[in-house]
Chain A
Amino acid sequence: MAKKKLAVFTATGCSACENSVLDVHFQISPVTPWADIAFWPYVTGSQWQDLDHVDRIDLCMFAGAVRTAADRKAALKLREKTRIMLAVGACSAFGGMPGLVNLAAVRDEGNSAGADEGIDPALPGTESRVSALSQIVDVDYVVPGCPPPKNLLWSAIQALLCPGECTSRISYAASRLPERISQCITSGILPPKGGTFAGEKAVCASCSRVKEEKKFRSAFRPYAIDPDPGRCLLEQGVLCQGIATREGCGGLCTAAGAPCRGCFGKAEAVYDPGAKMVSAVTSTFDSANADEIEAMSNEFVDLAGTLYRYTMAAQCALPVGPAKDENDAGDVL
């Protein structure tokens, strides 16, 4: 049986997603008999030309958002060669933090191109708005997180890359995965297309903090309170987005004393993460008086930048940002 071919690439994001893939790859070596790295610029120094010598990539792990013309070109080129496209991390899946650029009022055309003709090299242009991978090309699966936790990355690799006989397949528990995906992993068939390697419910379902149906009269910015370590943060007046967010991290941030900011994207049943949070937050207001409610509401600042911290580009129902313009498909030098 021919070895599967793996590609890993980051567009605009950071190196943490790739470092996580690197860690998984090296920590769990049973994969190596089954797969070859065909394209991984960061670690093996692959060049774009190398792709021309590969007929087909079986799995492409694409991290980072699409910000520049070069990112777009990379996405298109990899998609063309790839059988299974996996969006890795919040940037690639929903635009991630770079997607907040779309919120910034002024469009920064900065120094895209415009170099000294013929003497200095040009630059790949910046697109008018930041996009998630799925807004550019067809994406088959998603593993969310910023960066994705290792167990989820690993279960994605297992499900998508290793054939049934790989010894690692059943060795790694993926207990918070949706049943269908974990069944697929153990039985060695591909999960249904479009699947997400994470839970289905909300982070609250696996958060270790206790919810007591308590309400609060005044909200706290996270710097202004040392919250009770055992109790739900939202019920203590701290904006925590667990209830709107897909579970899978096991309540990583809330366990570390920090509120959830939604790096797994919206939970399955949520229409829009911001709207969901509006309803969750206000239901904990302890008041029926319009003025008091208004005052409490005003204690929450930067709603758009917080509630869509990782999802502005792809999951906000009323996406902001400049319209796409024709140059977006522009060519790279």
Chain B
Amino acid sequence: MRAAFIIAAKDLSQRIRDRSAILLGLVAPLGLALIFGAIIPDTAGGSFDVFLGYVDEDRGQVSRGFIEEVLPDVVAEGLATATSYADLDGALADVEAGTIHALYVFPEGLSDGVMAGQGGTVRLVGNVDQSISTQIAEAILDGYLAEVDAISIAVGAAVLNGATDPEAIIATAAGAPAAVVLADTEAASRELDIVTFFSAGMAVFFLFFTVQFGVSSLLEERFHGTLPRLLGAPISRWSILGGKALTSFVLGIVSMIVLAVATTLLIGAEWGDPAGVLILMLAGVLSALGIMAVVAVVSKTPEQAANWQSIVAVVLGLLGGTFFPLSQGPAILSLFSKLTPHAWFLQGLGDLSAGDGLAVVVTPALAMLAFFVVTVALATLLGRGKVLAP
């Protein structure tokens, strides 16, 4: 065990020094997430018609400010249409049907609550297949709530993510000092907003490049002739493999966590409940590690391994829907994508953001762990008597 740590510490310092891990693990995914995050909503704004709806049960200052001042401007710009609904059920049915992309619900007593400093909740309900429209709808409301904060009443706009029960949201908000709470939930299974989607997609895509630095370094040890030295040292053979796996694991999990924090701070990605995110990340890193270990085991040189690992990482990444939301592709693709850990990871994050608690990550995490178990078994089988031969 101690030897595994010594080996991993050496490997990690080598990887940090040659910067390749930092480049592939942090710079590339963060850069792409930033670029996608910046481009996609813009192009979407021009080419999308956003069908917005609203239910005004509040009939107070807060709801009127939005409906009479903000929405008309948006509609005037030709960006969206806005439909008023008297009854919530009818409105929700239209959201479900897709004739309305996103629905604002201003509950009764919202303005009063805000005036009294108790806060309140605006609900935003999006159609499951219209994540970009929902994202735009959210951005519009966000801007308004920030304005409410700035000019009139001293209220803060907090974003409460991940609750589906409107009563629960209102109950929380009533007791909280924060005044206006924006709750967005989609009608069915929840998809990630576009910024979070690209942040998570790029993170898991590049994860498969990052972990290869550990598992493939065994080939490098052989190439540099240092493997016989490790084999001759008074350490167990498992600790050599353990050290390499540990290197991969640390590189993978650290890059994921740093990316989650960075995209949250820089572009407002909303990864969701940290505990759930961490569980998904751990399972995702293990699955990547196992898959890359198989590729390393069947490779003869570090270069060969790097080439194959890149191919595998790109193919799985594309198939797994890390570059475009799966719901926007054909159904067959989303079925195939379940053969990749990437899709499970993104699905897990999506479900997590729907706010049904931690239980929703269990299935995706188990699916990714299954990849880990199967690939590790395969790597063991293929590498028997070969991996640690001098």
Partners in one complex: no
Interface residues of A (CB under 8 A from B): none
Interface residues of B (CB under 8 A from A): none
